[in-house]
A and B are shown apart, each in its own frame.
Chain A
Amino acid sequence: AQSVTQLDSHVSVSEGTPVLLRCNYSSSYSPSLFWYVQHPNKGLQLLLKYTSAATLVKGINGFEAEFKKSETSFHLTKPSAHMSDAAEYFCVVISYGGATNKLIFGTGTLLAVQP
């Protein structure tokens, strides 16, 4: 079965410092992985996706993630945090099989950015 584990429920950084949000995955085949962002009381927005092309994936708003098969990780990073990055971030994997595919969401990491 496919699953994702977000290793931190809360991360706090200062504005202008790097961001690292950690995600490990479990999959019996080459996974398709995603990061979504949710600002307070809003819907989710796709940040970036990995679908077995380049292992370093660039997304919107300066975020990127690196797929590491040997570590079964797909961590999200940004070189310099901005106040507007404060939000909840979800790591997601596609589970294939059965009548249809479905998305498996992690439990989320809440990012706080201090001035």
Chain B
Amino acid sequence: DGGITQSPKYLFRKEGQNVTLSCEQNLNHDAMYWYRQDPGQGLRLIYYSQIVNDFQKGDIAEGYSVSREKKESFPLTVTSAQKNPTAFYLCASSMGQTYTGELFFGEGSRLTVL
């Protein structure tokens, strides 16, 4: 079955550590996105990539980094520079390079900083 796989589902991190969240899709979608979700705030865009080897900052990119070396993979690194990293992180993809509003989401990764 086609879809988006995020791992790990739950992750605990000590302050000062970098962590990388994996996102893989087998939908052959061009565009991929990372969102952060906090209670009562909806979703906020961290980074997006419309094509391999290219990505752009979203609204809250500070303290995060990404890479897009393969079409199917878009990992997110939460660095120690991110001041409040505890959140639910969602990866999504869409068929074309332009936002049509139709996103397919993974099941998320919940990061807790101890």
Residues of A within 8 A of B (CB): 9, 32, 34, 41-46, 49, 51, 90, 92, 94, 99-103, 105-108
Q: How far is the CA of A17 from the CA of B67 in the complex (A)?
A: 47
Would you call B98 and A41 a contact (CB within 8 A)? no
Q: Mark B40-56, 1 if CB is under 8 A from A, else 0.
A: 11111100101000001
Known: A100-B56, A106-B42, A108-B42. A94 touches B105 (CB 8 A): no
Query: In chain B between 28 and 82, which residues have their CB closer than 8 angstroms to a CB of chain A?
Result: 40-45, 48, 50, 56, 58
Q: Supply 28 A–B pairs (Cβ within 8 Å), ascending by A.
A: A9-B40, A32-B101, A41-B107, A43-B90, A43-B107, A43-B108, A44-B43, A44-B90, A44-B103, A44-B105, A46-B102, A46-B103, A49-B102, A90-B42, A90-B43, A92-B101, A99-B56, A100-B48, A100-B50, A100-B56, A100-B99, A101-B98, A102-B99, A105-B44, A106-B42, A107-B40, A107-B42, A108-B42
Number of A-B contacts (CB under 8 A): 59
